[in-house]
Amino acid sequence: MGRSVLAMIDWLATPTHRAWLQHEAERLLAFAAASPQQGQGGAYLEADGTPQAGRPAETWITCRMVHSYSLGHLMGVPGSRPLAIRAMSGLTGALRDERHGGWFHTTARDGVKQAYDHAFVVLASSSATVAGLPGGRALLDEALTVLDERFWDESFGLVSDAAQADWSSTDPYRGINANMHTVEALLAAADATGDGMWLERARRIAEFARSQAEAHQWRLPEHFDDQWRPLLEYNSDLVDDPFRPYGATIGHGLEWARLFLHLEATLPEPDDRWASAAEQLYARAVSDGWARDGADGFVYTTGWDGTPVTSDRMHWVAAEAVGAAATLFHRTGEKRYAVDYAQWWDHIAEHFLDPQLGSWHHQLDAGLTVATSVWPGKPDIYHALQATLIPRLPLAPSLATAIAQGKLA
């Protein structure tokens, strides 16, 4: 089907498509039901949805499961509430540092404490609060206190990336990834608590990201030193790192575009610069990332001239492409975003959805066959689930609050 024909189709207004999105959301929730483990948190899932044997539970996966099943409960999907509670027990159990405060990266309780993980604790506990889970608000208050006291750097208006488990020192590395997820988490926390301070902090982080993206032709630097100076060659010898890859990350350009629009819709004062930046980020990500090597799909990363570095296709990038196109269409009304939206879903349906084992393949190689070098198995459902919800929700409030208010179409 050519783009000229697709331009006549507005899937976002089609009841059949909305029903398909709901079915896919329920399919994802059913797939990951074995992940929550009492007292431990969320298990990393194999390709068939079974927990990976011997692997300790990880905070970021645990939080994504709490968030996902809180959303499932708010949608009225039976069984979601006990799964959310079971996953959350890991955040009050094996993953929580009862001595020094905060959360370990895994139940092995070693290594540094990460802002990335703590941002997800805020997101998870915000969703749990809105969903009325027991202990949700207490967990949110604790998570916000730790984020504020241990990671927030008021002088820069950003969060640091990592610290020793006893908080005795902070890693000099600074990363935009943890800050991006902090924006998402703080928007949710502002809705869950009614405290505008968290919205203001989200705005400050996003302003930095916007300025950096604009200064680098809308290819947003990922890595920085402790003075927030870009480290453009960071990890040039580790180009496909799952959390700190070299170069510009296509999926983050798409994700920031969406977050800018959520932020704009939440801020009390209008500011068209957010929408303009979102359009620029999206355009750059699509131009640099889509089908650059002759095959459909978004490459993982590019160099600073837009040349692909890692050409594998990650499921979360395609999911964020869906979210970005949907939010841009909601914000602008421009049909070209609806055209893109349909194309991204067609690509996902053809290549990422796994009708045999469930969920989505997490990684494909440049030939669009399943790969496992970065993401073996199917660890979690967070990005895919949100891709089924964002198109059916307004730009604000955040997902859990909007669903709780009956705004899911």
From 67, 105, 181, 252, the catalytic residue: 252
From 105, 223, 361, 383, the catalytic residue: 383
CB atoms closer than 10 angstroms to residue 372:
12
CA angle 226, 228, 233 (to 5 degrees): 90
H or E segment to which residue 5 belongs:
helix 3-6
Q: Which long-range contacts (CB under 8 A, 24 or more apart) does 147-150 make?
A: 147/115, 147/118, 147/119, 147/122, 147/182, 147/185, 150/101, 150/102, 150/113, 150/118
Question: Are 232 and 295 within 8 A, CB to CB?
Answer: no
Question: Is 181 one of the annotated active-site residues of the chain?
Answer: no
Give the separation between CA 144 and CA 159, rounded to whole angstroms.
Answer: 12
Give the tokens for residue 47. 């390709």
Q: How far is CA 5 from CA 221, 336, 341, 348, 405, in A?
A: 37, 12, 14, 19, 36
Question: Are 244 and 313 within 8 A, CB to CB?
Answer: no
Give the tokens for residue 351. 């290549």
Question: Is 347 one of the annotated active-site residues of the chain?
Answer: no
216 phi, psi to nearest 5 deg:
-120, 40
Q: What is the dihedral of CA 329, 332, 334, 336, to 10 degrees?
A: -50
CA angle 260, 380, 10 (to 5 degrees): 50
Just list the catalytic residues: 252, 383
